[in-house]
Amino acid sequence: MGEIAKLELNGKLYELPVIEGTENEKGIDISSLRAATGGYITLDPGFKNTGSTKSAITYLDGENGILRYRGYPIDQLADNASFLEVSFLIIYGNLPTKVELDQFKESITNHTLVHEDMKQFFEAYPAKAHPMGVLASMICSLSTFYPESLNEDRAPEAKDLTIHRLIAKLPTLAAWSYKNARRHPFMYPNNNFDYCENFLHMMFAMPTSNYEIDSVVVSALNKLLILHAEHEQNCSTSTVRIVGSSHANLYASVSAGISALWGPLHGGANQAVIEMLEKISNDGGNVDKWVAKAKDKNDSFRLMGFGHRVYKNFDPRATIIKKACDEVLVKLGVNDPLLEIAKKLEKVALEDEYFKARNLYPNVDFYSGIIYKAIGIPTEMFTVMFAIGRLPGWIAQWGEMIENKEPIGRPRQIYTGENHRDYVPVEKR
């Protein structure tokens, strides 16, 4: 007999089963609450205490700074695997065999081109369009080119085709959104390159000149994508699951995830970090002044790249990324003054009572922006890079939700508006 939670309400006792995960995480199953109590619901703004699903994809222990994809520790994957290998693991549940990996890579490589008609969409966007806005629209537009993906009864192979198309085309569309913003000609994918190389080629090569692919840059990019690949029920992933729960197609669901990721409190934080560091630098580099602003409750300024909803000790990805950041800057010979400000900011914040008391540590985005900057990615593309990395996670979570036949996501609310009132014609108001 497992644990049981008891809820006493108006003198009546309700028993609620306790659910236990494979890592002994516990949750009270309240799925029968409303029916049993005659209408009571739970209220949990921001879902801080609410589990929306059971999931077998990612284990995350925020208190102890643990992150594992399908059981494998993030540091082992980041140090040894390729992004496509990790994507396969996350989506299909196990590390691929050599044959499986070769087939997966080949399929992805064969789908990197996007339909020529899609190029015309880009031309309609103004040069100042933020690439995240362009990317979200382009990914949703893919569904119009593959209408068979709207069919819910698709065979597994057809589902795989959609998945492979998405993974293959996202970097192409991402790089083209950048080229378009510069009004530079698009570079087509090159099937001789691997996933990361190809993206760098489409971003930085020109018809007039090749881009010299640097292995240090490729390896840093590979690591960054792995670190971002999956993170259980975060804002964008929950968005993908909830949109997909209405049986909207995968392209539409991922497009919604991209939009959710864009916000500065989520994936947009990597762009916000660099903008913040630049602001501090332009203001004379007085870190203490900006830390004081972040602590001032009358000031809306927050230290971007600090704090996390689930990591209350440290973000294990930030530890890996910090090391990678130091290595990349040394290897590329980049001396970025923003890094000095970042280090000062980190030191002050980690020693300050305000941040210590609230368990606010640097998160993954605090350092990722500095690496992206060092490898030549423009600031407005940082969140796009995050989207490329997070795609396998969104796909896996969407697939799990469909496979588990989860019901449509539809939270309840406690209504606090006006009571019944009768309509009054405008001339009598």
Query: What residues act catalytically?
Result: 308, 365
Piece of 202-210, 299-307, 397-405, 410-418 that binds ligand ACO (CB under 6 A): 299-307
Taking 3-state DSSP, the helix, strand and coil percentages for the chain, each rounded to the nearest 5, stand at: 55, 5, 35
265 binds ligand ACO (CB under 6 A): yes
Between 242 and 321, CB nearer to ligand ACO: 321
Instruction: Confirm if 304 and 362 have CB atoms less than 8 A apart.
Output: no
Separation of alpha carbons 17 and 30, rounded Å: 8
The secondary element (H helix, E strand) that includes residue 273 is helix 269-282
Instruction: Confirm or reject binding of residue 136 to ligand ACO (CB under 6 A).
Output: no
- Is the CB of 179 or the CB of 312 nearer to ligand ACO? 312
Q: Considering CB under 6 A, how many residues would be counted as binding ligand ACO?
A: 19
Q: Does 131 participate in binding ligand ACO (rule CB under 6 A)?
A: no
Contacts of ligand ACO in 42-101 (CB under 6 A)? 46
Closest CA to 147 of 135, 137, 158, 157: 158
Between 204 and 306, CB nearer to ligand ACO: 306
388 binds ligand ACO (CB under 6 A): no
Position 269 contacts ligand ACO (CB under 6 A): yes
> Which one, of 129, 386, 397, lies nearest residue 267 by Cα?
386
Identify which of residues 59 and 262 has a Cβ nearer to ligand ACO in the complex. Answer: 262
Piece of 106-114, 142-150, 266-274, 414-422 that binds ligand ACO (CB under 6 A): 266-274
Q: Which of residues 334-363 bind ligand ACO (CB under 6 A)?
A: 358, 360, 363
Options 60, 202, 294, 325; binder of ligand ACO; rule CB under 6 A: 294
* Least distance to ligand ACO, CB of residue 269, Å: 3
One residue of 111, 154, 293, 302 binding ligand ACO per CB under 6 A: 302
Nearby residues of 335 by Cβ (< 8 Å), 6 or more positions away: 329
What angle, 0 to 180 degrees and rounded to 10, lies between the N-to-C axes of helices 83-92 and 215-227?
Answer: 20
User: Across the beta sheet with 4-9, what order do the strands follow?
Assistant: 4-9, 12-20, 26-28
| Least distance in angstroms from the C-beta of 172 to ligand ACO | 24
Does residue 267 bind ligand ACO (CB under 6 A)? yes
Q: Which residues contact 274 (CB under 8 A, 6 or more apart)?
A: 338, 369, 370, 373, 379, 382
The residue of the chain with the least Cβ separation from ligand ACO equals: 307
Q: Does 308 bind ligand ACO (CB under 6 A)?
A: yes
19 beta partners: 27
Kindly give, in sequence order, each residue whose CB lies less than 8 Å from that of residue 207, ignoring residues fewer than 6 positions away: 185, 187
Place of tokens 């040894």: 80
User: Under a CB-based contact definition with an 8 Å cutoff, are residues 170 and 285 in contact?
Assistant: no
Q: Is 262 an interacting residue with respect to ligand ACO (CB under 6 A)?
A: no
Among 85, 230, 365, 400, which residue sits at the site for ligand ACO (rule: CB under 6 A)? 365
Rank residues 180 and 236 by Cβ distance to ligand ACO and give the closer one: 236
- Could you tell me the CA-to-CA distances from 391 to 190, 322, 403 in Å, in that order? 21, 23, 18
CB 396 within 8 A of CB 390: no
> By C-beta, is 358 or 412 nearer to ligand ACO?
358
Binding residues for ligand ACO (CB under 6 A): 46, 265-267, 269, 294, 302-309, 358, 360, 363-365
